Amino acid sequence: MDLITRAVRGTQDVLPADSHRWQFVEETALTVAKDYGYREMRTPVFEHTALFERGVGEGSDIVQKEMYTFPDKGGRSLTLRPEGTAGTVRAFLEHGLHNDTLPLKVCYISPCYRYENPQAGRQREFHQFGVECFGTASPAADAEIIALGAAVLDTAGVRNVTLKLNSIGCPDCRAAYHAALKEYFTAHLDDMCPTCHDRLARSPMRILDCKSPVCGAIAAGAPVITEYLCDDCRAHFEEVKTLLAAADIEYELDPRLVRGLDYYTRTVFEFVSSDLGAQATVCGGGRYDGLCDELAGVHVPALGFGMGLERLLLILEKQGAPLPEPPRCELYLAPVGAAAVKACFALATQLRAQAVACDMDVAGKGLKAQMKYADKTCARYVCVVGDDELAKGTVTLKNMGTGETSELPLDDDFCDAVFRLTLDRELAQLADTLGNRPE
């Protein structure tokens, strides 16, 4: 196949047959976020490269190996967004939002780009739902944002996820912890992968996140951060756990959870699923109180998370979750003859203005072909309109599911009658859903 008619490796098309599934998870996430007081923010898909080098961390795998970086025609180094937080923080600072009423809660759905080996649930172009909360250092904000993530997963229908929780302390805590890690890992240096040799000098906590089985086995015996937390960080973490328990949000403590980005401080968390195999994390985040300082010298405590939509859809599929059906045409108008085309076009326009999904032939098909088309597109009702129907002023409405027919007057009340049919069906579906909802 010619390259011009083939998607770039690591990207995928969302076809019409699948787009409603994406719309479902996106609308679910944004609706839950709105209920928590989060408003949508949209930022550019590319930023100055320096933003990610300073924000994400020059020593991170993302910056060193995975970013799509290129010079523009003015010679500036730009990078396609590899994650959502840095760009959101940049917009927060650039527009002086730190001078507004705080805390500020924002959410977004963004495409992101990382040059990695494509894998299930993570392509080189992938999509994140993210939330960021600026301007509060309270542990209540940590607990709330974790609760928000749990609510999105629950509302979407995800089951059997585990919340893993840890605190990686503050820079003061980590100074002593880094020293302990360096001492421990130096004794095992000969057995560790070359990447971890570099990590040992620049960011020893990253070794705990190494995917090498050998480094993983070595890291299993390393000191844990929770033994080095200062009094403030320990008290903060205890309050987070207390609030989660008060909301009946279960968690597992994971003292080796560090996340993969340099900006995290204190609380870090992940929602993981055994249904995703090695790529088990569907949502992860934490607190990053020093990032605004790092980028602009402005101290604004903040926290957030990112949720991979591809992974969310993958886990819903693997668990057989009841996703919504694709949207269907309520009424297909099948005109026969020039006069009928005009009449059907007027009727379709009126019905669509009343939010009734209506379709009609726009390709000049014969009646038989129109009926096949209506059946294939799963139209609920079909109405044939020809010279006889126009002369009589009545049409026959056929229920494509049951085969039942009914006669309707082709007058000013026709659209209202179709609208009532649609409304009655929607109310019946709602009653059925509420009736089957568990106590």
Determine the distance from the C-alpha atom of residue 123 to the mean position of all C-alpha atoms in its chain, rounded to a whole number.
14
- As a whole number of angstroms, the distance between CA 345 and CA 362 comes to 9
Q: For residue 235, what is the enclosing H or E element?
A: helix 231-246
- Residue 133: beta bridge partners? 105, 303
Helices marked H in 284-413 — which ranges?
291-296, 309-318, 338-353, 367-376, 387-392
Domain 3-170+230-318: CATH superfamily is: Bira Bifunctional Protein; Domain 2 (3.30.930.10)
Which range scores top for mean pLDDT: 57-66, 198-207, 244-253?
A: 244-253
Contact 244, 36 (CB under 8 A): no
The Cα angle at residue 63 between residues 218 and 33, in degrees rounded to 5:
95
Q: What is the per-residue pLDDT across 20-50, written as a single tens digit (0 to 9) for each?
A: 999 999 999 999 999 999 999 999 999 999 9
Topology annotation, domain 331-435: Rossmann fold (3.40.50)
Return the amino acid letter for 419. F
Q: Is the pLDDT of residue 434 over 50?
A: no
Query: What are the residue ranges spanned by the domains of the chain?
Result: 3-170+230-318, 331-435
Taking only the tens place, the pLDDT of each residue in 154-207 is 999 999 999 999 999 998 888 888 888 888 988 888 888 888 888 887 788 888
Return the structure tokens found at 146.
């974790």
Give the other-Cβ count within 10 Å of 24's Cβ.
Answer: 16
Tokens standing for 430? 């709602």
CATH topology match: 3-170+230-318 vs 331-435: no
Q: Is 108 helix (H, G, I), strand (E, B) or coil?
A: strand
Model's pTM, two decimal places?
0.88
Tell me 111's DSSP state. E
